[in-house]
């Protein structure tokens, strides 16, 4: 068997272990879904009318359903942000367990335990996005104009964002001494979408704040997702989103490998 086959095999074994954890303790995953679902309901039913009228012409006629359409892409990306906290916590917890020391003394692919975490987390993130997406449809989200290709591209983009940020979250988990610290360190990943164009257009923000929303990974990803699902202008956001994801994945991967190869204290 080639080195790649062996690596894949070990990573699959590790993935199975992560999926067992997720299946055995589903409450952890479901808890993480509460935040995006609550935000969705809050922004649609409580703030919805105000938000849509505030956005005025930008969102069409100022109807609540227009705001549903506007906010859902951001909520879907926030869903990914929420599952990342779970990733960072489970990696940090794992590293404090003796089982990882055992893996390090075995003749297996060295990074396989990390690949297992990443693959498991991306699967969980995609499943979460599907669940939250179902809630979004239930509260009135429609993307009937999108073609099958656009739907696939949207799902692909969400998976790519999940992959990129999961590697960052794995690094955060590896760099945190405890599960609590990992949870704190990963919290900015939930907050970052709040200061993007998820809830209000960047144009509607005060001038000094716009750069914060403009120059961060979530805004281009959200704009691209809107374009794919709702037919708005994508423009340069598409390339920006993919670029951000590739860069974050590469940095997160390199960082995680350095931290994992570091001598255990």
Question: Least Å distance between CB 14 and other proteins?
Answer: 8
Nearest CA among 218, 224, 207 for reference residue 248: 218
Instruction: Tell me the per-residue interface mask from 10 to 39 with other proteins, x by CB under 8 A, - otherwise.
Output: x--x--xx--xx--xx--------------
Residue 13 vs 184, nearer CB to other proteins:
13
Helix axes 112-138, 3-24, angle to 10 degrees: 50
Residue 21 vs 210, nearer CB to other proteins:
21
Instruction: Tell me the per-residue interface mask from 90 to 119 with other proteins, x by CB under 8 A, - otherwise.
Output: -------xxx-xxxxxxxx-----------
Tokens 């509607």, residue?
Answer: 204
What gap in Å lies between CA 263 and CA 265, rounded to an integer?
A: 6
Residues ≥6 apart with Cβ < 8 Å to 118: 163, 166, 167, 170
Q: Is residue 145 close enough to count as binding other proteins by CB under 8 A?
A: no
Pick the stretch among 5-13, 77-85, 156-164, 165-173 that binds other proteins (CB under 8 A): 5-13
Tokens 């359903």, residue?
Answer: 65
Residue 108 vs 131, nearer CB to other proteins:
108
When binding is defined by CB under 8 A, the residue of 9, 142, 210, 257 that contacts other proteins is 9
Question: CA dist 6 to 3, 9, 253, 257, Å?
Answer: 5, 5, 20, 18
- Enumerate binding residues for other proteins (CB under 8 A): 6, 9-10, 13, 16-17, 20-21, 24-25, 97-99, 101-108, 263-264
């Amino acid at each position: 068997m080639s080195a790649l086959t062996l690596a894949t095999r070990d990573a699959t074994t590790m993935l199975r272990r992560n999926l067992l954890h997720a299946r055995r303790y589903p409450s952890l995953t479901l808890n993480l879904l509460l935040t995006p679902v609550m935000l969705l309901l809050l922004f649609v039913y409580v703030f919805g009318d105000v938000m849509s009228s505030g956005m005025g012409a930008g969102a069409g006629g100022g109807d609540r359903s227009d705001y549903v359409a506007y906010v859902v892409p951001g909520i879907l990306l926030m869903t990914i942000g929420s599952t990342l906290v779970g990733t960072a916590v489970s990696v940090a917890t794992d590293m404090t367990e003796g089982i990882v020391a055992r893996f390090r003394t075995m003749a297996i692919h060295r990074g396989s335990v990390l690949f297992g975490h990443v693959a498991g987390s991306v699967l969980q993130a995609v499943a979460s996005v599907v669940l939250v997406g179902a809630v979004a449809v239930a509260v009135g989200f429609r993307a009937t104009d999108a073609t099958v290709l656009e739907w696939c591209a949207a799902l692909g983009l969400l998976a790519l964002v999940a992959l990129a940020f999961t590697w960052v979250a794995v690094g955060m988990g590896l760099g945190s001494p405890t599960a609590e610290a990992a949870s704190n360190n990963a919290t900015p990943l939930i907050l970052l979408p709040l200061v993007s164009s998820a809830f209000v257009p960047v144009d509607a923000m005060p001038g000094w704040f716009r750069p914060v929303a403009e120059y961060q990974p979530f805004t281009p990803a959200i704009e691209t997702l809107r374009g794919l699902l709702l037919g708005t202008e994508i423009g340069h956001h598409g390339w920006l989103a993919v670029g951000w994801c590739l860069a974050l994945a590469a940095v997160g991967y390199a960082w995680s490998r350095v931290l994992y190869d570091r001598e255990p204290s």
